[in-house]
């Protein structure tokens, strides 16, 4: 009992200054109002007793509240709560309760984010190793077969060498994409923005693809606007974007055409790469920009894709403060569009 009162009062001593000030005021008032000394002395004594009782009550309340907060913090530390709705403090601490709830939510989402990041990192590493293994094993296989005698067989030796070379090209493309991705994601990729003629720029890229498209009997349609339309962006990086999008459009189209359509707007140019290809199922649309994501793994692999192209495209378009939009009807075709500043 005495110990409890002692600790209550000690705890209330943070208000000691206020308490003394209050006492002095009351003592002065008593002296001013009561002339009779024999009455004022017991009054002051009574006042002291009341003061100590009040200090005891204040201290008790303070200890209770601090314990309550301590308990909540220690429960959070021990992961006892699933959600912030389980956190309660007494009525007068509602503001603090809100703060603690917000802190809890923030920490929870930070941890979830870090866990997701960690998972993505391990998945990325697993994907990279898997993708590297395929061409390396293939090259190794061809070389071994050649060394084991096939080298002297004119029916297969050239064919095997060509196959091995094909895989080295894939390997080198993959490594270049990986270097790009890691540079972009670590913020090391420096962009250099300037104005350039978008029509000329696209014309050149379209020319590069004309042979591949012809081989597949696909027509590339590009009707550039008459005036020299200038856009603002990093030409080299945007080249990568166009190459990726046009390459995809050709790769994933069996018949029909690929169109690059420029729509001039007030402050920007809306660029569309449209194809009449296999399209993308609705449930995959949100995922095609993820690293290594391929809708039809077998088909992408057959046409030499690793699923990094669109991840790079998205990063580059994002860096231009723009957004890439996909519309696609499965079996009918796709349209990839984004805006560039004029």
Ligand X SMILES: Nc1ncnc2c1ncn2[C@@H]1O[C@H](COP(=O)(O)OP(=O)(O)OP(=O)(O)O)[C@@H](O)[C@H]1O
Return residues touching ligand X (CB under 6 A).
Answer: 177, 244, 248-249, 252, 275, 277-280, 288, 293-296, 300, 305-311, 334
Q: What part of residues 223-282 is at the interface with Mg ion (CB under 5 A)?
A: 248
Closest chain position to Mg ion (CB): 309
Question: Which one of Mg ion, ligand X, none interacts with residue 250, CB within 5 to 8 A by kind?
Answer: none
From first CA to last CA, the distance across the chain in angstroms is 81
Count how many residues are written for the chain.
342
Q: How far is CA 296 from CA 125, 215, 280, 288, 329, in A?
A: 21, 22, 9, 11, 15
> Nearer Cβ to Mg ion, position 55 or 311?
311
> Nearer Cβ to Mg ion, position 97 or 177?
177
Per DSSP, 105 falls in state: H
Which tokens is 253 given? 């189209």
- Residue 161 CA, chain-centre distance (Å), reads 43
> Nearer Cβ to ligand X, position 248 or 337?
248
Closest chain position to ligand X (CB): 309
> Is residue 135 a contact point for Mg ion (CB under 5 A)?
no
CB atoms inside a 10 Å sphere around CB 57:
12
φ, ψ dihedrals at 257, nearest 5°: -145, 170
Question: Which one of ligand X, Mg ion, none interacts with residue 296, CB within 5 to 8 A by kind?
Answer: ligand X
Site stretch for Mg ion (CB under 5 A), options 58-66, 81-89, 107-115, 309-317: 309-317
State in angstroms the smallest separation of the CB of 258 from Mg ion.
13
Q: 326 and 293 in contact (C-beta within 8 Å)?
A: no
State in angstroms the smallest separation of the CB of 290 from Mg ion.
13
**Helix/strand/coil for 259:** strand
Question: Which one of ligand X, Mg ion, none interacts with residue 274, CB within 5 to 8 A by kind?
Answer: none
Interacting residues with Mg ion (CB under 5 A): 248, 309
């Amino acid at each position: 009992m005495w110990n409890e009162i002692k600790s209550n009062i000690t705890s209330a001593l943070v208000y000691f200054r206020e308490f003394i000030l209050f006492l002095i005021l009351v003592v002065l008032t008593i002296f001013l109002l009561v002339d009779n000394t024999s009455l004022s002395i017991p009054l002051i004594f009574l006042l002291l007793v009341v003061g100590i009782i009040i200090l005891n009550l204040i201290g008790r309340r303070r200890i209770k509240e601090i314990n309550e907060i301590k308990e909540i913090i220690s429960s959070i530390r021990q992961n006892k709560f699933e959600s912030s709705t389980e956190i309660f403090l007494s009525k007068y601490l509602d503001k603090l309760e809100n703060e603690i709830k917000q802190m809890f939510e923030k920490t929870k989402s930070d941890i979830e984010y870090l866990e997701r990041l960690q998972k993505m990192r391990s998945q990325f590493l697993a994907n990279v190793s898997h993708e590297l293994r395929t061409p390396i094993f293939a090259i190794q296989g061809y070389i071994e077969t050649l060394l084991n005698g096939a080298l002297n067989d004119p029916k297969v030796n050239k064919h095997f060498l060509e196959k091995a070379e094909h895989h080295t090209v894939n390997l080198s493309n993959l490594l270049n994409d990986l270097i790009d991705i890691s540079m972009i994601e670590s913020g090391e990729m420096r962009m250099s923005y300037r104005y350039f003629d978008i029509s000329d720029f696209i014309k050149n890229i379209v020319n590069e693809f004309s042979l591949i498209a012809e081989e597949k009997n696909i027509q590339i349609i590009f009707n550039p606007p008459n005036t020299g339309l200038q856009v603002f962006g990093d030409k080299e990086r945007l080249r990568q974007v166009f190459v990726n999008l046009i390459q995809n459009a050709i790769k994933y189209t069996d018949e029909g055409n690929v169109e690059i359509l420029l729509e001039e707007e007030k402050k920007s140019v809306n660029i569309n790469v449209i194809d009449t290809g296999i399209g993308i199922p609705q449930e995959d649309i949100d995922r095609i920009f993820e690293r290594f994501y391929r809708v039809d793994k077998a088909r992408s692999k057959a046409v030499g894709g690793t699923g990094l192209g669109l991840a790079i495209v998205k990063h580059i378009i994002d860096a231009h403060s723009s957004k890439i939009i996909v519309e696609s009807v499965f079996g009918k075709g796709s349209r990839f569009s984004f805006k560039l500043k004029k």
